[in-house]
Amino acid sequence: MKSNFNPFTLEGKNFLITGAASGIGRATSIILSKLGAKLILADINQEGLVSTIKCCDSEAISLQIDLSDAASIKDKIFKAVSEFGKLHGIVHVAGKSYIAPLKSVTEEKCREVYSLNTYAAIELAKTFINRNVYAGERGSIVFISSVYGVVGSAANVAYAMSKSALHGITKSLAIELAGKNIRVNCVAPGFVKTNMMDSASSMFDSNYAETLNKLHPLGVGEPEDIAFSIAYLLSDAAKWVTGAILNVDGGFTAQ
């Protein structure tokens, strides 16, 4: 007789995913839907959200939102949840890169990167723990940082600041929210084939793709490689995992 044993299932769970209109966010939405989750897909790009929803196997709704406008996050999520149902977790994928050498870095751009990559994560977590949003039982929050939150690289000071800060937030919230049975973890991806990587690559010379590949013993990744790790952290298979920074980087940081 075939066993129904599957601790990785996401059946009966609702999640909110930011950055769901493209790249890692889209791949994550598709994988979670295939694992049975129902989804609120959030992004500033409504057209991209509609495309992602068409790829999903389970119920999914779109939430157009500018996450760099922290003051709007709570109300928009409250409204979406009141129509959709309470959540078992959130995934903050949305983010922007800012490649600029130190002498070109400006406070304005640093704040812009920080507000989306970092402060939105805090505001999302704050909204999630509200009794009108959190479904109770077991909760899981997953942030997406970067290998550049772990190791250094030139011309990356603002992005590195925003991503390494997520590691501190992850560990602090893991402790603070354990009592509510909410786990908080972070995935630190290496380079994966997305539009963000393409636009960054255009700033460098023609050997950049080869250079990037050499940084990853397993080669550059696919968005799905990150999505699978997120699915694990959201599932009950990870019920004893909290405060972890999971490097999913094809061996980038193993060197």
Please, what is the minimum distance in Å from the beta carbon of residue 110 to other proteins? 12
Report d(CA 216, CA 195) in Å as an integer: 19
8-state DSSP, 236:
G
Please, what is the minimum distance in Å from the beta carbon of residue 23 to other proteins? 19
Nearer to other proteins, 109 or 126 (CB): 109
Would residue 159 show up in a list of annotated catalytic residues for this protein?
yes
Please, what is the minimum distance in Å from the beta carbon of residue 206 to other proteins? 7
Nearer to other proteins, 203 or 218 (CB): 203
103-108, Cβ contacts within 8 angstroms, sequence gap of 24 or more: 105/157, 105/158
User: Residue 36 class from Cβ within 10 Å (0-12 exposed, 13-18 middle, 19+ buried)?
Assistant: middle
Nearer to other proteins, 83 or 198 (CB): 198
Please, what is the minimum distance in Å from the beta carbon of residue 45 to other proteins? 18
The contact set with other proteins (CB under 8 A) reads 99-101, 103-104, 106, 109, 154-155, 202-206
DSSP states of 45-84 as a string? -HHHHHHHHHH-SS-EEEEE--TT-HHHHHHHHHHHHHHH
CA-to-CA separations, 157 to 89, 149, 160, 191, 237, in angstroms, rounded: 30, 10, 5, 17, 35
Nearer to other proteins, 3 or 206 (CB): 206
The single residue of 114, 148, 159, 232 carrying the catalytic annotation is 159
Q: Which residues are catalytic?
A: 159
